Chain A
Amino acid sequence: MTENNEPLLSVRDLKTYYPITEGLLRRQVGSVKAVDGISFDVEAGETLGIVGESGSGKTTAAHSILRLVEPTEGQIIFDGQAVTDLSGKDLRNFRRRAQLIVQDPNEAFSPRMTIGEAVAEPLKLHGLSDQQRRREIVEDILERVGLSVEDVNRFPHEFSGGEKQRIAIARALVLNPDLIIADEPTSALDGRVQSDVLGLLDRIRREFNIAVVFISHDIDVVRRFCDHISVMYLGEIVEQGPVDEVISNPSHPYTRVLIGSVPSLDPEDRSLAKPLTDTIPDPSDPPTGCRFHTRCPEVIPPEGYNISHEQWQLLARFRFTLEAGELPEEVDIDLIDEPLDEAMVRSVFGLPESFSYGAVDATVSSAIEALISGDLDGAIDAISEEIVTPCEQTSPAMIEQDGISVACHRYDPAKAGSPLSWTGGRTTSPIEHD
Chain B
Amino acid sequence: MSAENQWKNTDLVDESTSETTLLEVEDLMTHIHTERGTVRAVDGVSFDINRGETVCIVGESGSGKSVTCESLTRIISQPPAEIKQGRVTFDGTQLLDISEKEIRSIRGNRIAHVFQNPQSALDPVYTIGKQVVEAITIHEELEEDDARQRAIDLLRKVGISRAHERIDEYPHEFSGGMQQRAAIAIALAADPELLIADEPTTAVDVTVQARLIELLRGLSNAGMSMLWITHDLRVVAAIADRVIVMYGGTIVEEGPIKEVFTKPAHPYTQALFESYHGLADDSGRPAREHIPGDGCRFRGQCRFAVDECAGGNQPAFASVPDSSAHQAACVYYHNDRDPTQILEEATDARPIAPEVSDD
Contacts and interface: CB of A to CB of B under 8 A. Distances in A.
Interface in B142-180: 156, 161-164, 175-176
A341 interface: no
Contacts of A332: 164
Contacts of A275: 207
B286 A146 contact: yes
B282 interface: yes
B104 interface: no
A229 interface: no
Interface string B273-314: 001111111100111100000000000000000000000000
Contacts of B209: 261, 263
B161 A327 contact: yes
Given A266-B261, A266-B351, A191 B231 contact: yes
Interface stretch (A19-27, A109-117, A192-200): A192-200
Contact of B276 (A147, A265, A278): A265
Contacts of B162: 325-327
A407 to B, nearest CB: 19
Contact of A278 (B61, B211, B285): B211
Interface string A324-338: 011111001011000
B237 A265 contact: yes
A161 B210 CA distance: 27
Contacts of B163: 329
Given A166-B287, A203-B282, A325-B161, A192 B207 contact: no
Contact of B258 (A258, A267, A278): A267
Interface in B185-227: 205-211, 213-214, 217
B352 A268 contact: yes
A267 to B, nearest CB: 4
Contacts of A268: 258, 352
Nearest to B205: A53
Interface string A154-190: 0000001111001000000000000000000000011
A195 B280 contact: yes
B238 interface: yes
A255 to B, nearest CB: 12
Given A257-B207, A258-B207, A329-B163, A54 B176 contact: yes
Given A191-B60, A325-B161, A265 B352 contact: yes
A252 interface: no
Q: Which of A263, A264, A268 has the most chain B CB within a 10 Å cutoff?
A: A263
Given A217-B206, A329-B156, A163 B287 contact: yes
Nearest to B257: A267
Nearest to A225: B279
B114 interface: no
Given A198-B280, A264-B237, A272-B213, A146 B207 contact: no
B282 A200 contact: yes
A329 B309 CA distance: 59
Given A160-B62, A166-B287, A267-B352, A192 B272 contact: yes
A133 interface: no
A270 interface: yes
B235 interface: yes
A363 to B, nearest CB: 23
B61 A161 contact: yes
A388 interface: no
Binding site of A, secondary structure by majority: helix, strand, loop or mixed?
loop
B234 interface: yes
Contacts of A160: 61-62, 288
A272 B216 CA distance: 14
Contacts of B277: 433-434
B281 A199 contact: yes
Contact of A190 (B61, B261, B286): B61
B48 interface: no
A299 to B, nearest CB: 17
Nearest to A146: B287
B271 interface: yes
Interface string A198-214: 11101100000000000
B206 A258 contact: yes
Nearest to B241: A267
A234 interface: no
A161 B280 CA distance: 17
Contacts of A66: none
A163 B279 contact: no
A193 B206 CA distance: 21
Nearest to B353: A266
A191 B272 contact: yes
Given A191-B272, A195-B275, A265-B233, A54 B261 contact: no
Contacts of B161: 325-329
Nearest to B351: A265
Interface of B: 59-62, 156, 161-164, 175-176, 205-211, 213-214, 217, 231-238, 240, 257-258, 261, 271-272, 275-282, 285-288, 351-352
19 contacts: A146-B286, A192-B280, A195-B280, A198-B279, A202-B279, A203-B282, A217-B206, A224-B278, A261-B210, A263-B235, A265-B234, A265-B237, A266-B261, A266-B351, A267-B352, A273-B210, A325-B161, A327-B161, A433-B276
